[in-house]
Amino acid sequence: MSETTPTSRTGTERPAADIVFDHVTKRYPGQQTPALDDLSMTVPAGETCCLVGPSGGGKTTAMKLVNRLIDFESGDITIGGQSIRSVDVTTLRRDIGYVIQQVGLFPHMTIAGNIGVIPGLLGWSRDRIKKRTDELLDLVRLDRSFASRYPAQLSGGQQQRVGLARALAVDPPVMLMDEPFGALDPITRTEIQDEFLNLESEISKTVIFVTHDIDEAIKMGDRIAVLRQGGVLAQYGTADELLAHPADEYVADFVGADRGLKRLSLRRMREVVAGGDGASNGASPYADAPSVDADATLRIGLSTLFASGAPAVQVTDGGRLLGTVTLDQLQDAVAGSSS
Amino acid sequence: MSSYFAFFGDNAALLAELTLVHILLSVFALAVAVVLAIPLGAWIGHLHRFSFAVVSVGNVLRSLPTLAIIAIGLALYGFGIINITVALVILGFPLVLTNTFTAVEGVDPGTVEAARGMGMTGWQILTRVELPSAIPLISSGIRTSWVYIVATAYLATFAGQQGTLGDIISNIEGYGLSGVLAAATISILLAFAGDALLGLAERALTPTGLRLLAERTPAADAEPAPAAPAAA
Amino acid sequence: MTTAAGALDLPTQVIPIFEGPQCAPDQLFCWDWFTTNWPTILGPSLVQHVYITLIAVVIGLVISLAAALFAFSRSWFASGFLGFSTFLYTIPSLAFFLMFVPITGLSLTTIEIGLTSYTLLLLFRNSLTGLRTVPRSAVEAAEGMGLTPNQILFRIRLPLALPSIMAGIRVSVVTVISLATVAASVAPLGLGKPIFDAIHTVFSTELISAGVLTILVALVADVLVVGLQRLVTPWTRARRTS
């Protein structure tokens, strides 16, 4: 990769901004229960907040309030301290990247045309748009030759990459994503999730990510907001907090009875072995134990341990032995951090 | 049969003159229908409201027998160009209206939502997303409309507007069956020629991406993608 | 005062235009004339018009359905028949009616040949489209359950094609009603007869009466077909009630 910084050089280099929901209530006309009931929460700048909940929980409603695709009556939403109602709605939306499950590429425009729509409306020069398009195609790992193709010629996964690129075109500080990977097959979904995580670490965006899949939320979100029927916020916190201390029965149910196992996915073997005792190194009593990469999750470690029947696993980092981890240590690691 | 061919030679000048007027009248009526129907259909399709009204108006207008319009017109506003134009516009208008409306309203909701979420204004969505996607269907409406109008324009004679091929078609006593068939042949050729020309225009105007999309999803067995829940 | 048909020596019924009531010649619409002539001229013409239409649509439907079933598995026939029926639509209707006069004379048969031909495009195309766009899954399920190809055709495909066929019937009914008026200049039958009589005399009461009656016939027929459509395809309106 000759690219030194994948963030926008032709974009506008805007820092991420926090999003604050302040006592927001949304009631659809003719409906008894509100779609969203007195929601207050803060998504810190640069973080990804996953909204999860059942159908009718108001997660999509909450997201669409931010770019005012849906209007609300009471409360306020601010982005970077500025109320979204104080800005012209068109200007507001152009500063917010929007990615949806159906992708919604314009079928009559080429990939380059799709990515360049908003830059074009903003009056960017042809040259700048072209450069930006190439940059974005690199960013979402599509060959630059895709620029002249049409949406109909792309697979579902490729289309959603273009959807991402299009949303990032003017380097918006905020992104809204509505079940963006929900229509993809499992393999493609995992692939594009990983790439998005990668991409997120390179570009700093505040993301609101709607999903009905708790595993996706745990994987993608820095924080997770669990909504319940009637648009009430049941719990808001990091994945670890949710899994370790579900606020109530409902959240515990929602994150799943296997939440202990899910917590194992949140941490890497490296953390446990580093936190473990270095004294067990040297002449290891577990010389023929199976080895696990340091960046593997505890869940993988546990699985390896169980599958091999050995009392411990060796943790390696690029061939170098970091140490060993036993079943007890794994258990402590999860149980310990929860108390 | 030989008198049929002879008729073309013997009456070349007359046929040429009548054909020209026939074309002018048809083009004029089609143009009026299109100018009225496309903005109306596009706007209502864009709003996603009043669809019942459009469909009903389209169905009612489509049901009106052309000769009845001419007859009532004769009583209300008399003979001539206005009478036949009104009748032909009423014939062509609903086809273009319903096709435009259906096409614009039927643009993939995901595409429109993406456009809205990106900050396109209603006008930009209509002109840059919805109308380009609607071109094939609008065009087929215009083409069918043309075929109907050209084949019906001969009724001008009954509306008291002389000078079209109807002068011959409605006067079998004067020109004989071979004359009627000769004039009808020209009318048929006009229908096909206009349809072909409009087809060329459609090809030129239809964005490549849409053609690829159409090739990818054959009309038969095409099932709409499962709709995403409107509000989670 | 001769119509095209009159010139060809068809015994035409002479209409006493100002029979009975007092109507001023410059009056736009004379109700007395209408009521006087309803039982003798307008009413019978209307009934004739309905008959003419029914005959054409029923014959057209039988031919189109047979052709669609035949074309269903033979695409060469489908495109051939489609091309032929598209061609029919470009022919000025009056010329088409006149074409058959040397063979079948100035008769109802001549009119019906023409009108039936005009229904073919719509009915055939819609029947074929309906048969072809049946969801693959339904057909596969039927195959899996052991239905024979004929059973699938008549129990699955044909019923599921009904909405499309009914839509074709709807358009062809109003089309035939419209074209039947023109046919009256060849054989003086139906509501076209008083229309042509009035066009030649510019008698506004008769123009309006016959014109409005024709429009009413078309609108009522349209509504009736829609009602029939709802009756025979109840599943198209079934919605989950939740």
Strands of A320-326's sheet in order across: A291-293, A312-317, A320-326
For residue C199, give the nearest of B74, B150, B192 by CB distance.
B74
A10 falls in which pLDDT band (50, 70, 90)?
low
On whether residue C96 sits in a domain, the answer given is yes
Q: What confidence category does residue B29 fall into, taking pLDDT thresholds of 50, 70 and 90?
A: very high
Are C232 and C162 in contact, with CB atoms under 8 Å apart?
Answer: yes
pLDDT of residue C22: 65
Residues of chain B with Cβ-Cβ distance to A180 below 8 Å are: none
Check pLDDT > 50 for residue A277: no
| Residues 6 or more apart whose Cβ sits within 8 Å of residue A185 | A156
Alpha-carbon gap: B119 to the closest alpha carbon of chain C (Å): 34
Helices (H), chain A: 59-66, 89-94, 111-115, 117-121, 126-139, 156-167, 186-202, 214-220, 239-244, 249-255, 259-264, 269-275, 298-308, 327-338
- Pairwise CB contact (< 8 Å): C92 & B63: no
What's the pLDDT at A336?
57
Output the pLDDT for position A285: 64
**Cβ count within 10 A of residue B93:** 25
- The answer to whether the CB atoms of B223 and C135 lie below 8 A apart is yes
* Residues contacting residue C80 through CB under 8 Å, at least 6 positions apart: none
Report d(CA A333, CA B164) in Å as an integer: 93
Nearest CA to A334 among A244, A250, A253?
A244
A194-203, C143-152, C215-224: which has the highest mean pLDDT?
A: C215-224
Residues 116 through 155 of chain B touching chain C, CB cutoff 8 Å:
147-148, 150-152, 154-155
pLDDT in tens, A37-61: 999 999 999 999 999 998 878 899 9
How far is the C-alpha of A330 from the C-alpha of A306, rounded, in Å?
Answer: 12
- Structure confidence at residue A309 (pLDDT): 83
Touch test A–C: 3 Cβ pairs or more under 8 Å:
no
pLDDT of residue A300: 87
B156 close to C (CB below 8 A):
no
Q: Sort residue B207 into left (φ over 0), alpha (ψ -120 to 50) or beta.
A: beta
3-state secondary structure of C185: coil
Q: Tell me the pLDDT band of C139, cut-offs 50, 70 and 90.
A: confident
* A203, pLDDT greater than 70: yes
CA distance C207 to chain B (A): 5
Q: What are phi and psi of A227, to 5 degrees?
A: -105, 150
Q: In the A/B pair of chains, how many CB contacts fall below 8 A?
A: 118
Q: What order do you get walking across the sheet with A96-100 strand by strand?
A: A96-100, A174-178, A206-210, A48-52, A223-228, A232-237
Q: Any idea what DSSP says for residue A292? A: E
Is A151's CB within 8 Å of B113's CB?
A: no
Select the residue of B118, B207, B209 nearest A118 (Cβ to Cβ).
B118
Q: Do A152 and B213 touch (CB under 8 A)?
A: yes
Please compute the mean of the pLDDT values over residues B132-159 and round it to a whole number: 93
For residue C205, the chain B residues in CB contact (below 8 A) are 75
CB contact B37 to C (< 8 Å): no
pLDDT above 50: residue C4: no
Own/partner pairs, A332-336, CB within 8 angstroms, 24+ separation: A333/A267, A333/A271, A333/A272, A333/A275, A333/A298, A334/A260, A334/A263, A334/A264, A334/A267, A334/A298
What are the helix and strand counts (H, E) for chain C?
A: 12, 0
pLDDT > 70 in chain A, percent: 91
Number of domains in chain C: 1
Chains that touch B (3 or more CB pairs under 8 A): A, C
Query: Could you give the CA distance from residue C158 to residue C65 in angstroms, rounded to a whole number?
Result: 10
Name beta bridge partners: A99: A177
Residue C7: closest C-alpha in chain B = B173
- Please check the confidence at residue B53 and state whether its pLDDT lies above 50: yes
- Tell me the pLDDT tens digit for each residue of C40-57: 888 888 999 999 999 999
Confidence of residue C169 (pLDDT cuts 50, 70, 90): very high
DSSP state of A144: G
Q: Which residues of C touch B67 (CB under 8 A)?
A: 178, 181-182, 192, 195, 211, 214
Name chain A's partners: 3 or more CB pairs within 8 A.
Answer: B
Q: Which of C139, C137, C153, C147 is nearest to C73 (CA)?
A: C153
Report the pLDDT value the prediction gives residue A323, as an integer from 0 to 100.
83
Alpha carbon distance A302, B115 (integer Å): 46
Residue C215 lies in a domain: yes
- What pLDDT, in 10s, does the model give residues A109-143? 899 999 998 898 889 999 999 999 999 999 899 99
Contacts of B181 in chain C (CB under 8 A): 95, 99
Triad A312, A318, A321: Cα angle to 5° = 40
Query: Which residue range is the domain that position C58 belongs to?
Result: 47-241
Rounded CA-CA distance B40/B34 in Å is 10
Rounded CA gap, C94 and C185, in Å?
8
State the average pLDDT over residues B190-210.
91
Domain boundaries, chain B: 2-216
For C164, what's the count of Cα atoms within 13 Å in the CB-facing half-sphere?
A: 21
**Chain C touched by B55 (CB under 8 Å):** no
**Could you say which of B64, B171, B219 has the minimum Cβ distance to residue C215?**
B64
Q: Over the stretch B75-127, which tens digit does the pLDDT of each residue have?
A: 898 888 999 999 999 999 999 999 999 999 999 999 999 999 999 999 999 99
The residue among A273 and C124 whose pLDDT is bigger is C124
Q: Is the pLDDT of residue A4 over 50?
A: no
What is the predicted pLDDT for the residue at C170? 93
In the numeric block, the tokens 């089609």 are attached to B30
Query: Where does the pLDDT of residue B131 fall: very low under 50, low under 70, confident under 90, or very high at 90 and above?
Result: very high
Q: What is the pLDDT of residue A159?
A: 92
Distance set, CA C25 to CA C22, C141, C204, C208, C213 (Å): 9, 70, 9, 14, 22
| Identity of residue A319 | G
Given this model, what pLDDT does residue A265 score?
A: 81
Instruction: Calculate how close chain C gets to B211, using CA atoms only, in Å.
Output: 21
More confident residue, A135 or A269: A135
| Facing B231 at nearest CB: one of A60, A103, A105 | A60
Could you tell me if residue C20 is inside a domain? no
Nearest by CB to C136, which of B59, B66, B221?
Answer: B221
CATH number for C237: 1.10.3720.10
Using CB atoms, which residue from A58, A98, A179 is nearest to B114? Answer: A98
Residues of B engaging A, defined by a Cβ cutoff of 8 Å = 108-121, 124, 128-129, 132-133, 207-210, 212-213, 215-216, 225, 228-232
Average pLDDT (B15-36) is 96
A320-326/A48-52 β-pairing? unpaired
CATH number belonging to the domain at B2-216, selected among 1.10.150.120, 3.30.70.100, 3.10.20.590, 1.10.3720.10: 1.10.3720.10
pTM of the entire structure?
0.79
For residues A203 and A250, the model is more confident at A250
B224 touches chain C (CB under 8 A): no
Residue C186 lies in a domain: yes
Residue C238 DSSP label: -
What's residue A275's pLDDT? 46
DSSP H or E run through A236: strand A232-237
Residue C109 lies in a domain: yes
pLDDT digit string, tens, across residues A154-197: 998 999 999 999 999 999 999 999 999 988 899 999 999 998 99
Are C128 and C165 in contact, with CB atoms under 8 Å apart?
no
Average per-residue pLDDT for chain C: 83
C51 within a domain of the structure (yes/no):
yes
ipTM, two decimals, is 0.83
User: Is residue A13's pLDDT more than 70?
Assistant: no
What's residue A12's pLDDT? 53
Q: What DSSP state is assigned to residue A280?
A: G
Which pLDDT does position B72 carry in this prediction?
Answer: 93
Q: CA–CA separation, B202 vs B99, rounded Å?
A: 14
Rounded Cα distance, C145 and C152, in Å? 10
pLDDT at A211: 93
CB atoms within 10 A of CB B143: 22
Which of C4, C91, C181 has the CB atom closest to B65's CB atom?
Answer: C181
